[in-house]
Chains A and B, each alone.
Chain A
Amino acid sequence: MHNDNQPLIFELSTEGRIGYSLSELDVPAVDLGAILPSEFIRTEEAELPEVSELDIMRHYTALSRRNHGVDSGFYPLGSCTMKYNPKINEAIARFAGFANIHPLQDEATVQGALGLMYDLQEHLIEITGMDEVTLQPAAGAHGEWTALMMIRAFHEANGDFQRTKVLVPDSAHGTNPASATVAGFDTVTVKSDENGLVDLEDLRRLVGDDTAALMLTNPNTLGLFEEHILDIAAIVHEVGGKVYYDGANLNAVMSKARPGDMGFDCVHLNLHKTFTGPHGGGGPGSGPVGVKADLIPFLPKPVLVKTEEGYHFDYERPQSIGRVKPFYGNFGINVRAYAYIRSMGPDGLKTVTENAVINANYMMRRLEPYFDLPYNRHCKHEFVLSGSRQKKLGARTLDMAKRLLDFGYHPPTTYFPLNVEEGLMIEPTETESKETLDAFCDAMIQIAKEVEETPEVVQEAPHTTVIGRLDETRAARNPVLRYQKETVEV
C-alpha cells in the first residue's frame, strides 16, 4: 500500500482551476435576479474544491491505494460473502440501455429492463422456493423491514392486532432486531443452546398469541445449519406467527435446501453477497424479498406483472403495504445479479455452494488445533473460532486481526456473533483457491505461535500498514465529521 499521507481534496484546491467541461450556454444569459427573488440566491459559495482533472485522478488513485478490496487480496470477512465480483457484470450494468433509462419512461419503451427484472424474479422464486419475489428493497436490512411490514399487514388484515412481538435469536445480525423496531414491533431474544442452535425449549416458552414472527438466519451466524428447522417453523406456526428467513447467507445452501421448502413464509436475499453485487465500500446493495402465497397481497407497490401485451407495473394493490422505496429497487445491482446467475446456471450455483462449504470446513479443520472451536461440527459457508486461548496469553482477537493486516489479509469478522467470546468469524467463499486458503491458514498459525512466543508483535500490530491503530475514542468524544477551512481570526 501507498505510504504517504494523502491530503484532503480541499487542501489540494487552488483558486482558478477547473476539472469540468460544460457546453457553452446556448440560450440567452438572462440575469438570475430576474428569475429568482434575491432571498433565494445563494450569497456564500459552497466550498467545493478547485482542481484539474489530473489532480482529481491522482487524488483518487492515491486513495484507492490506501484501500483493500477483494481484488487486492483475500477477504474472509464472515457474514459478508466477499467473493469475486465478475467483470462482465460491470460491463453489462453499464450498457446505455440499462444505465441511461429513466424509471418514469413509458413502459413500452423499457420492455427489455422489465423483462430482465421479471426473469430475475422467476430465477429467485425457483432458488428460494417461494411463490413471489419483489426486487424493491435496497439492501438486506431494507428487505427485513419490508417483509416485517407485510407480516404486520397480514396479521392486521386478520384482525390480529395483539401480535406485537418479533422473536430474534441471540446470534442474529443486528439489523434483525433493528428492523423489527422500525416496523413497530418489540423484540424478544431467543437463546441459543449448547450446540449453537435455537434453544427449542426457550422458543416454546416465548411464543404465544402475541407472536408476530420469528426471524431466523439459516445457516445461522455461527455457520451452522438449524437442524430442527421444521420443528422451529411448526412451533411458531402453531401459535399463528410467521417465520422469516434472513437469507443473507444463501451461499451455503443453494441447490441444497430452499427456504420455501423449510416452512418459511418469507425471505430476503442479499444480492450483494451470494449473487456478486460488489460491496462498493459499503453499498449499494439489493435485498429482494420472497413470500409465500398468503403474503402476496401485501407486497410493496408496484408489482411487476406479465400480460399478453408485455410487462407492466400493477399499482392496483389495495392490501399492499405501499411504497418502500422510490421506483423499483436498485436496478443496476439487480442487473449484475442476473448476469451472475445466468453465467453460473443450475450446475454452477450448486458447485458454488459445495465449494464454499468445502473451503470453510477445510480451513476450520486446519485451524482447529491452534484455536478454540466452540461449536465443533460440520459448518456451512463460514465458521467461528474463539480467541479465548490467546486472550489468556495476553493477545486479544482484535490484536490478531490487526496482525493479519501485516500479512496482506483483510481480517475475519470479529466479536460477532455475540454468543462467542473473542469470536473470529471466517468465510472464505468458493472463489478462493486452495493455495490462498493454505497461505492464510499458515499466517493464522504463525500468529498463534507469536502469541505464545513474542506476544508484543501481535499486541502492537499492525506494523506495515499506511497508518497505525486509530484513536476511536477521540473520534467519538470530539467528533470531526467534515473538513473546515481554517478561518483566520481578525
Chain B
Amino acid sequence: MRFLGHFSSRERRYRRLVQPHVTHLVHIALQRTGHAALAEDLVQESCIMAWEKLEGLRSAEASRPWLVRILLRQIADHRRTRARRQALLPITDIEEAHWEAIAGEAPGPFEQAVAAQSDGRVAALLRRLPDDFAIVVELHDLMGYRYREIAETLELPLGTVTSRLARGRRLLAGLLVEAPETVEGIGASGDKEARHHE
C-alpha cells in the first residue's frame, strides 16, 4: 500500500487484470440475478476468489473470460444452494410453435410486439430461460461479445455457441409473445428471491 511507499506486486496485478472488469461483472450479475444486493455479493465473492487465485491467471487477455467464469460459478452455486429452482420451460413446445409461426405468419406483428416489451419484462423472461441458453444470449446481445469470445469464456465449441444463441433467442421470442400470462408470476417469484436473500 502507499504508506509503505509501493504497491505489492499482487495488488498491481490485481489492479491491472481484475479491476477493469468489475463493472462488466456487475452488469452480468445484475442481469443474471435481477437483484442489486445479490449481484453485489456475488461480484464481491468473485473478486475475493480472483484475488486468492491470481497466480492461476496467465495473461491479461485471459483475465475477462477467467473472471466471468468465476462469477458464473458463483451464480450457479448460489442457485443450487439458496435460490428457488427455476421453473422448467416447455422448450419443445415453444420451439414447435416458433417453427409453425416461421412457416406461416406474415411479418410485422411479432417485431412490433417484441419491441413494445418493457425492460423489466424482457430481463425477467431472459432469466426464465435455461442458464445454458440465457448466458450465451446475454453475453452476445446485451454485452456485445463475439461468438469466439463466448466460446472462449464458457469453454464451449463454436458450434454449440452458435446453436445456443439462436435457440435462446427463439425461446425468448416464444416467451415474449406467446406466454404473457406467465409474466405476473415472474415478478412475484423475483420478489420472493429477494426476500430469501436478505
Note whether A and B form a binding pair. no
- Chain A residues with CB under 8 Å of chain B are none
- Chain B residues with CB under 8 Å of chain A are none
